[in-house]
Structure 1
């Protein structure tokens, strides 16, 4: 009986150790690939964070595209617009044709300011 159980136990232990080692190697490889992807796309992630910083300014709900472009050099216009969209911004054109951006999350604040401004104009 021991002659049949001993090989089965050693096979089970060998399979368990092999599976555990394969799991650890795959986990390490996955983490390495994830770190590599984050490093490759770091420029876009940081640009997105910078855009959010500018558009979250407590005084200004909107920023002109020219101001954003001035502070975020190294991107062409289309790339910068894609970064703005990924950051959650929406575009608006003013009467003079200039391009302005604001965060969608600050839309209520923008509407409130616009409404209070119109009410002040009516009073005066």
Structure 2
């Protein structure tokens, strides 16, 4: 085998192996950073998950702000509203002026229940 060709193949093989190792290490590092970030912001993630749980209940498309506030204690009104928006909820007001929230993903279900 030609020494020039052997050198080129060895260089190519070294680059491929080095690139693969670098990719795997960066992937592992990214996963660790993601887990660390989730752990640091666990309160917000869990609050969003809880809000989605209450707003996904089969029997109710809407929940009053007071009910959500009762079950998601420890947040100011504005913080709770931000959590609800991050969870994918939209705010509506009833005729009596009360504040209600529903998941945007359940809008079709809400419209169907009002027309049906």
* Structure-1-length-normalised TM-score: 0.71
Return 5+ residue gaps in structure 1 as ranges.
117-124
Counterpart for residue 31 of structure 2: 31
Q: How many residues align?
A: 115
- SS for the counterpart of 1:101 is strand
Counterpart for residue 53 of structure 2: 53
- SS for the counterpart of 2:73 is coil
1:48-78 CA-partner distances (Å, limit 9, x unpaired): 1111111111111100000001000111111
Return 5+ residue gaps in structure 2 as ranges.
none
Counterpart for residue 87 of structure 2: 87
- SS for the counterpart of 2:101 is strand
RMSD: 2.8
Tell me how far apart the structure 2 counterparts of residues 51 and 33 of structure 1 sit (CA, whole Å): 25
* Structure-2-length-normalised TM-score: 0.75
Mark the structure with the bigger radius of gyration: 1
Structure 2 CA distance for partners of 1:89 and 1:14, relative to 1, 3 Å:
closer
Say if 2:110 is the partner of 1:110: yes
Counterpart for residue 120 of structure 1: none
Tell me how far apart the structure 1 counterparts of residues 14 and 101 of structure 2 sit (CA, whole Å): 61
Counterpart for residue 68 of structure 1: 68
Tell me how far apart the structure 1 counterparts of residues 63 and 97 of structure 2 sit (CA, whole Å): 14
Q: Give the stretch that moved more between structures: 88-97 or 23-32.
A: 23-32
